[in-house]
Amino acid sequence: MDLSHWGWGYADKFLSREARMQLGDLAAAGLGFSPLGLDEPVSLDDVVLPDTVVNAPKTLLHLFDGTSEGRIRNTYGRAYRDILRGFRGDFASAPDLVAYPTSADEVRRVLDWASDAKVAVVPYGGGTSVVGGVECPRRDREEAGLNGVVAMNMARLDAVDEIDPRSRLARIGAGARGPALERKLGEHGLTLRHFPQSFEFSTLGGWIATRAGGHFATLYTHIDDLVASIEAVSPVGALKSWTLPGSGAGPSPDRFLLGSEGTLGAITAATVRVRPRPRYKASATAVFATFEAAAVAARMLVQSDLHPTNCRVLDPREAGLNGVDGAGRAVLIVGFESDDHPLEPWMSRALELVNDAGGACEAPVRYVAPGADGQRSSQGADTWRSAFIDAPYMQTNFVSMGIIIDTFETACTWSGFDALHADMIREVRDVMKRVAGRAFLSCRFTHVYPDGPAPYYTFACPARRGAELQQWAEIKAAASEVLMRHEATITHHHAVGRTHRPWYERQAPSVFLTALSAAKRALDPSGVMNPGALIPAATPPGGESAM
């Protein structure tokens, strides 16, 4: 199946005109406003690209692709801005060339050439960034004093080659995508158990470079927790940390690369912590009169040390939009998993806490045990799961209908949440009404910690043709300003990229940012690695940080 060159996932998931017209009626019911029109995407053949300004080195020609299709498919991530521009056929930021290294040594040779030729290199995993992480616009490369841009697609570094069942470790190539690496681990009864919503198309290297969050709500959910060692190649040499269960030996080289977003080097492989596939599962769905009551239940659960694998709170709009509850109630989905033991005692105690917080389970708890079926039911948890997987396709279709639809996410303390949430709802709705006349805003918790939740907001409003990016920017800026005022993080798992950088620079201590720039200069003296993502493109060599 062909992948879309502009939207999420497979091209054939972009609906026909007739189906999109029907979807428009659903959108009107779910979002509260009707789509304004119906446009068609610019086809791959009709995209006009800027001229290429660099040539591949003669000795490495076999690694490079300079075709229009290759350049188009390695230009953007999959944020609203990316999908909109791709839909309209605007690929102004297309890289000059795409490199496909097959080994760490070939990565090194590409970086050597790029450093000499002063060409930017953007490591490209699955291209699912939602923060401008893989787009290197002309402005950034010029600020960095570079001559062109190469996307370094990591897809061919995808081996799952060393599995150590005794230590429960596996060495996996950075370019391996979720389904392929899970398939391979599955042959050994193992799983990495890292399932971001973008799982199908994103890569291990991308997860590490962005500190991705999986969909499990508590405990080991960030890829950070699953990484035992990392192999990377920087422009000045290779880095390979030891594979250790823990270490107190100074600052961690793995932590240094986690979240580095392609700015310090290319991650080529990692050894990750794997585990047996769960054989026991339990899930329940509880409804609450208010979002606030459901949030209290989530806090009680996460502070109980029961460690549910799922503990997802949906506000009434989110529950309605995803077909989980249509009665204007908030929903909490709670789940447990184990390879080792039945889960009834954990679930029973969890439901006592849910009841104490005012929640009610209208359907029986669903238990899966070895030998029993794993069939899906119509329970909230399963309805939610399907909606969760389909949501990105929905966004792609909505873009063609003149709807701005996007998400932003954060994390804050439990004590800070109520005030943050109230401000967020008020200000983001206000700005949407001002720029678009109508507003849809919903919230869910994607992750919960004993000290606070990670709220995740979905916003939607009508687009004005030609003004969409400006409308989007005003909404995004308003939301980000609310986060800064409440000292909530600019991102819990979407990463910094280029989109969040202005706010990241306000969140992180300035001395730390100076040290980060200095580290980049040490590893990447020519400033070729993904200039403008995370760290300003114009970081003067050996001089003061531009931050």
Q: Which residues bind ligand FAD (CB under 6 A)?
A: 8, 77-78, 122-130, 133-134, 154, 174, 196-198, 202-203, 205-207, 209-210, 212-213, 261-262, 266-267, 392, 493-495, 530, 533
Q: Which of 40, 132, 44, 47 is nearest to 90 (CA)?
A: 47
Minimum CB–partner distance for residue 229 and ligand FAD (Å): 15
Minimum CB–partner distance for residue 233 and ligand FAD (Å): 9
Smaller CB separation from ligand FAD, 258 or 343: 258
490 touches 500 (CB < 8 A): yes
φ/ψ (deg, to 5) at 124? -125, 115
Q: What is the DSSP string of 169-237?
A: EEEEETT-BHHHHHHHHHTTTEE-----TTTTT-BHHHHHHHT-B-S--SSS-BGGGGEEEEEEEETTE
Please state, as a whole number, how many other Cβ atoms lie within 10 Å of the Cβ of residue 538: 14
Smaller CB separation from ligand FAD, 150 or 533: 533
Minimum CB–partner distance for residue 275 and ligand FAD (Å): 19
Smaller CB separation from ligand FAD, 368 or 391: 391
Smaller CB separation from ligand FAD, 23 or 120: 120
Residue nearest to ligand FAD (CB): 206
Minimum CB–partner distance for residue 358 and ligand FAD (Å): 29
Minimum CB–partner distance for residue 301 and ligand FAD (Å): 20
Minimum CB–partner distance for residue 95 and ligand FAD (Å): 12
274 touches 190 (CB < 8 A): yes
Residue 257: strand, helix, or coil: helix
Output the furthest CA–CA distance in the chain (Å, rounded).
70
Minimum CB–partner distance for residue 134 and ligand FAD (Å): 5
334 touches 360 (CB < 8 A): no
- Torsion, Cα 141 267 86 465, to 10 degrees, reads -70
Smaller CB separation from ligand FAD, 149 or 297: 149
**How distant, in Å, are the alpha carbons of 157, 180, 206 from that of 176?**
7, 7, 10
Smaller CB separation from ligand FAD, 243 or 395: 395
Q: List the beta strands (DSSP E) in 377-469.
A: 403-409, 440-449, 452-462
Smaller CB separation from ligand FAD, 136 or 301: 136
- Please tell me the total number of residues recorded for the chain in this structure: 547
